[in-house]
Chain A
Amino acid sequence: MEKVKKKKKSAALRSEARWAWFFVAPTMIGLIILNFYPIISTIVQSFYRTKGLTGQTFAGFQNYVTAFQDSTTWQALLNTIKYAIIEVPFSVVIALILAVFLNRKMIGRSVYRTIFFLPMVCAPAAVAMVWKWLYNQNFGLINNLFGSNVAWVNDPNITWISIGIIGVWSVLGYNIVLFISGLQEIPGDYYEAAQIDGAGGIRQFFNITVPLLSPTTFFIVQTRIIGALTVFDLMFMVLDKTSQALQKTQSMVYIFYQYAFTNNNKGMGATIVVILLVFILLVTFILQRLEKKVVFYN
């Protein structure tokens, strides 16, 4: 009797495993062809020098040496970090404050939400086009409105900030959505208790909301950092090929695109993207380490 049961059980397990393999097969085959082979292929490619349209020769670390000796690479890495320094803190802090406001019951809440979330569904290509027009030095709304004459997207010292502002404007809605869903998980009694103790809104915010929301905040910061380090669309749409700000603004993914698809230098393109990969993995690793220290888990 026991034996029969065992046999039945192992047959059931085998059948379960067969079904499971059948279910994961499409995804796993797809991931291998579309993602894992490409990772290896890109790394291999970064050791080859591209010649003409199709030819290539093994070059060892030559591409990496070229990339590291070229100030463009370092400048692009720096530009990418600078962009992240604008986009991430501002979009997170502003979104947190707005989310706390929007989490209260009040008149017009759904109107505000609709407006704030609107950029989430807009193609960055269109968003960047409009902002570029707003930023236009001679005819743009911003310079006209303030009577200024700033070269928002042409001045090497300003353009990275201008594009960072578009980035903040674009991702604000996402961050607010995530913060609101995090806020709704904080039990209301904490606030009630605080109110009885006589703690005001600002003290409640710093003593209850900020620590209890820290897992959400950490998640958002992490996602935003990775997103900002791979910024491309805004750069591509806003920066003219002739812009004087190009060198001081273009991001890593932007120069990757230029190497790989505009200049058809796949070897250098692969090298740049591998450097970016290593950098991002490093950042991810540091963030994971930080998580235990800064996040408050209940």
Chain B
Amino acid sequence: MESVRAKQRLTRIVIHVILIIVSIIMIVPFLWMIITALKTNQEAISINPFYIFPQAGLHWENFSTVWKSYNFLLLYINTLLLIVLRVICACLTATMAGYAFGRLRFPGKKFLFTLVLIQMMVPSQIFIIPQYVMISKLGAVDTMFGLLFPGIVTAFGTYLLKTGYQGLPMDLEEAAGIDGCNTGQKFLRIMMPLTRSSMVSLGIFTAVFAFKDLMWPMIVCPTITKTTLSAALAKMQGQFSSDYPSMMAGAVLAVIPMVIIYVIFQKQFVEGIATSGGKL
């Protein structure tokens, strides 16, 4: 009995050691980003490995310099607005279509849903050239509409919500039908509120995707004041190629809002990613 206990204890310790090593690997890039952002460039490129921390005080002014020279306020507003609009569009169109595909009978249902599935199988890069041509013909380069454009509807969200609606018990609607509700009322009053968790998942997925997306904002909003945080970082790297503290300060500013939101709403994030299948 003693030996079994000892063995279990050893296993626990080994597991913790492994988890701690991995934690360090996961966290060091973040720490190094913050530490570098607080150094002078001279300190950052000092090759003495013992100068890991800033020697001559913390240079918080790196943040304000980058903030001003790249107009981060605008970048935050653009990114936030894009996220809000994309989440609204995705949730609205997907919940409607998901309800129809999941609960209603109509001619053409199979064919239309096959189209949804095909869209999900095709890599999204194939849409980009024509989408860009459309946006430039509409004169919407460097606009919020341009940024939003590919995310107005979502095949993946439709699929996700369809699954959500299918999971609801069948007799719900029958009860409502007897009370004299038409299909639209059933949807709005009874069914839609019940798929809230699928909607939250889709919302989180859409928000994280919009935040991380790099190629589309770079193409459609090349002007640095009109674009998103991600695309602005790409520009910044080109310009600050050897000013490491400024680059890292920019990276910190770009990453921090989402990290804070994530830490607060961690449970919802993890559930959202688990149900949306981590398709990012």
A and B physically associate: yes
B window 214-259: CB within 8 A of A: 214-215, 218-219, 229-231, 233-234, 237, 244, 247-248, 250-251, 254-255, 258-259
Whether the Cβ atoms of B230 and A27 lie closer than 8 Å is: no
Q: Is B72 an interface residue (CB 8 A)?
A: no
Contacting A34 at CB < 8 Å: which of B105, B131, B187?
Answer: B131
What per-residue 1/0 map shows which CB atoms of A126-162 lie under 8 Å from chain B? 1101111110001101001101000000000000000
Query: Is B182 interfacial (CB 8 A cutoff)?
Result: yes
Q: Which residues of A contact B105 (CB under 8 A)?
A: 13, 16-17, 20
Q: 8 Å CB contacts to B: which residues of A1-59?
A: 13, 15-17, 19-21, 23-24, 26-31, 33-39, 41-42, 45
**Taking the complex as formed, is A226 at the interface, i.e. its CB lies under 8 A from any CB of chain B?**
yes
Stretch at the interface among B55-63, B80-88, B92-100, B139-147: B92-100
Please, which residue of chain B has its CB at the minimum distance from the CB of A232?
Answer: B215
Chain B interface size band reads 35 or more
The residue of chain A having its C-beta at the shortest distance from the C-beta of B261 within the complex is: A121
Q: Is B277 an interface residue (CB 8 A)?
A: yes
The reply on B49 being an interface residue by CB < 8 A is: yes
Contact B274 A177 (CB under 8 A): yes
Complex formed: what's the CA distance from A175 to B277 in Å? Answer: 9
B233 and A126 within 8 A (CB): yes
Interface-side segment among A64-72, A82-90, A203-211, A256-264: A256-264
With known contacts A101-B19, A260-B128, A121–B208 Cβ distance under 8 A: yes
By a CB distance below 8 angstroms, the chain B residues around A24 are 96-97, 100-101, 112
Q: Which residue of B is nearest A35, CB measured? A: B119
Interface status of B170 (Cβ within 8 A of chain A): no
Check: A215 CB closer than 8 A to any chain B CB: no
Cβ-defined partner of B155 (8 Å) among A35, A119, A236: A35
A163 CB-CB contact with B under 8 Å: no
Q: How large is the interface on A (under 10, 10 to 19, 20 to 34, 35 or more residues)?
A: 35 or more
Please, how many angstroms separate the alpha-carbon atoms of A125 and B106 in the complex? 44
Give the chain B neighbours of A134 by CB distance below 8 A: 28-29, 32
**Residues in chain A near residue B258, CB distance under 8 A:** 121-123
Contact: B131 with A38, CB < 8 Å? yes
Q: Tell me which of A106, A180, A253 contacts B125 (CB under 8 A).
A: A253
Which residues on B sit within 8 Å (CB–CB) of A294?
Answer: none
| Interface assignment of B33: CB less than 8 Å from any CB of chain A | yes
In the complex, the answer to whether B100 meets A130 with C-beta atoms within 8 Å is no
Does A20 contact B153, Cβ atoms closer than 8 Å? no
Q: Does B9 contact A (CB under 8 A)?
A: no
Contacts of B93 in A (CB 8 A): 26-27, 30
Whether B44 contacts A139 by the Cβ 8 Å rule is yes
Q: Is the CB of B212 within 8 A of A133?
A: no
B29 contacts A116, CB within 8 Å?
no
Is B70 in the interface zone, CB < 8 Å from A? no
* A218 within 8 A of partner (CB): no
Given A38-B126, A38-B130, A277-B126: A23 in contact with B152 (beta carbons within 8 A): no
B106: contacting residue among A21, A29, A41, A45, CB under 8 A: A21
- Cα-based distance from A115 to B231 in the complex (angstroms): 25
Chain A residues proximal to chain B, CB less than 8 Å: 13, 15-17, 19-21, 23-24, 26-31, 33-39, 41-42, 45, 94, 98, 101-102, 104, 106, 108, 111-127, 129-134, 138-139, 141, 144-145, 147, 169, 171-172, 174-175, 177-178, 180-181, 201, 219-220, 223, 226-227, 229-230, 232-233, 236-237, 253, 256-257, 260-261, 266, 269-270, 273-274, 276-277, 280-281, 284
Residues of B within 8 A of A (CB): 11-12, 15-16, 18-19, 22-23, 25-30, 32-33, 36, 44-47, 49, 92-94, 96-97, 99-101, 104-107, 109, 112, 115-116, 119, 121-134, 149-150, 152-155, 158, 182-184, 187, 208, 211-212, 214-215, 218-219, 229-231, 233-234, 237, 244, 247-248, 250-251, 254-255, 258-259, 261-263, 266, 269-270, 273-274, 277-280
Enumerate 8 A-B pairs (CB-CB under 8 Å) in ascending A order.
A27-B153, A34-B152, A35-B127, A104-B15, A125-B254, A126-B233, A237-B214, A277-B126
Q: Which 4 A-B pairs have the closest CB atoms?
A: A30-B153, A20-B106, A174-B278, A38-B130
